[in-house]
Amino acid sequence: MSLAPVIIAVDGRSGAGKTTLAVELAARLRAHHKVSLFHLEDIYPGWDGLAAGVERYVSTVLTPLSRGQAASWTSWDWENHYDGDARVTLPAEIVIVEGVGAAAEAARPMLDAVIWTESPDDDRRTRALDRDGATYEPYWDLWAAQEEEWLGRDNVPGHADLRVLNLADGAAPTEILQLLPYLPALAPVLAPELSARRGLRLRAERMEAVPDAPALFHSLYGRSGNAVWLDSSNAGTEPGAADPAPRTAGGRSRFSIMADDAGTFGQCVTHHGGVSRISAGSSTASVPGPFFRWLDTVWGRRAVRTPEGYPAEFTLGWLGCLGYELKRETGGGDLSAPTPDAALIFAGRAVVLDHADGTAWLLALEAPDAGEWLAHARAAVEAAVEPTAQAGGSPCVVPPAPPAFRSRDTGVRYREKVTAAQHQIAQGNTYEVCLTTTLEARVPAGSLDPWATYLALRRRNPAPFASYLRLGDLAVASTSPERFLRIGSDGGMRAEPIKGTRRRAADPQEDSRLRTDLATSLKDRAENIMIVDLLRNDLSHFAIPGSVTVSRLCAIESYATVHQMVSTIDAHLLPGAPRAEAVAACFPAGSMTGAPKISTMAILDQLEAGPRGLYSGAIGYFSLNAAADLAVAIRTLVISAAGDGTAELSLGVGGAITSDSDPDDEYEEIRTKAYGVLSTLGAEFPDN
């Protein structure tokens, strides 16, 4: 008798490639572990014996193995159609059982992981008959009927931890080994595999080139199903003439990052309803539990060395967006949104543009396909430098019929909610309420190109934290000016909340007056300072005592369509502190909730009466050197393909409510904030 093994079941219909997959998986795991392999086809009692075979497997094989005991069982003689010889399967550190019914209901309590393999019906039949020839062919329909009957009463695919679309191209074992360590039950035993995943070598190439960024992204990732461009679209632009502190915002725009989830290490994850689904190629693992707990398993420890001379913090890793509804994990209420609570890709290779030095950096984790990709990326950068490569887009995208947006709240209703928020303040339940609403429009799917829309937005409203995300059926076009949180690889932390907004004016004198009005507004300063205090508290949870400082208070920054009041709070992370938890302690951004955060989020749930989705969440990266940089998801258009030939457009807008807020002014502020996106689409703010 030995310690109880970790047991992995590989299940699926006949011909789905279970046997080949299990054998290859066992061979690879044997590099670090003792592995036993059991095939259910050795125990089924005949061609009509699926149910009986599963019973035999559970009682005589799985039960003793799960206890760390040797399993003695009777094989089936397929030639003589009778019981065969007695056999023994020994326990091991890892036991893999494969075959139809390996993860049946009676077996699942004894299993640590269930892998369900799928293939098209025609492919399955061809594979099965090619393998077993004429022996199987007369019984195919009989066996298939048993499979259907069994699956009709036992939803094994629905209980699978990992699902594989087995394309028989040899990729499935590698994909599965990438995902298995994410399963909590397997993570401890797969420590060697986890260690290998963290011991990565980064290749980097520096190019003296200033490529046209849109042309480069389109060339490299125009056909990628999942791709991210963290685009510092106001890099190198001069602020307006009235700006007395030139290039303050532009200073945050030094680097742009482009990547997709292709290549050896490529993965993506979506989190919804308390389950993270991580995909690598055609394989997907489901991991129940909080998102930030999962993030802690994949980020926060240094896995690569920063290349010599490389000036950026991003050294490959996870990129994407976090939705506001993740607040359920940080003290907020539990609401469900139609968009994912989080969507990230893992980039094992990327292009980083250094706008200050006029260089392009090509990054790739060492892998068999790294050299080929570096050559391809090098050629793409060179081609994007050519004048003919310009793809900046027009400043306005007008669909055949401009989208007709509808608002969650009428003007009257929004003003009433402002008054209701002020009542909560008067009752002492909150000091400040960041009240938001949502504008939505449904359009024919082909009438609005997300890529062209983003190009137009970045031309019309360049911003230091602009971004374009294509994540399956979801597209995000953001021109955010606000940093949520940066954590440097050295532990330095920074938050830069925005509170206070005025529109830009074409007339320089009027524009200067609006800027001065914002700078001298006691109300806006009070809003900003309250959020600064909130973020000082958020950062302090994991900061070295005494390291939290406010280096900039109520400064004014000017953008293409608005003036903003911005503050900067700095701190230093405690050595060894869990970085994912430090992000969670600050999430969601206090500038999008109000203060105090937790009680105000509960008030907002009542007032707003609906989810925010990605709006007021975060967009950015979690790097392999333990750095992170996240923007607040504002000035952000979300485009979701509905699957019925239409697409849903969503734009969130809001503002901070204090005791001296004027409802009419607050309503005018959300119209101002929506203007940059709506005008680009040729749309108007709804008057309903």
Active site residues: 482, 499
Tokens of 215: 């042309």
Can you spell out the DSSP letters for 499-546?
A: EEEEE--SSHHHHHHHHHHHHT-HHHHHHHHHHHHHHHHHHHTTBPTT
Tokens of 263: 């290549």
Helix-helix angle 597-608:411-426, to 10 degrees? 150
Helix-helix angle 172-179:18-29, to 10 degrees? 60
| CB-based contact 331:598 (threshold 8 Å) | yes
Distances from the Cα of 381 to the Cα of 255, 307, 348, 384, angstroms: 15, 20, 18, 5
d(CA 310, CA 317): 16
- Regarding beta strands 162-165 and 349-354, do their DSSP bridges make them parallel or antiparallel, or are they unpaired? unpaired
d(CA 658, CA 248): 28
Q: Which residue has the tokens 């508290």?
A: 537
- Regarding beta strands 226-231 and 255-260, do their DSSP bridges make them parallel or antiparallel, or are they unpaired? antiparallel
Tokens of 1: 């008798």
The length of the chain is 688
d(CA 418, CA 657): 7
Tokens of 436: 């938001």
- Which residue type occupies 672? T
> CB-based contacts of 298: which residues, under 8 Å, 6+ apart?
182, 318, 622
Distances from the Cα of 363 to the Cα of 50, 202, 369, 539, angstroms: 51, 7, 13, 31
Nearest to 414 by CA among 222, 609, 574: 609
Residue 668 burial class via C-beta count within 10 angstroms: exposed 0-12, middle 13-18, buried 19 and up: middle
> CB-based contacts of 260: which residues, under 8 Å, 6+ apart?
220, 221, 224, 226, 227, 228, 266, 345, 347
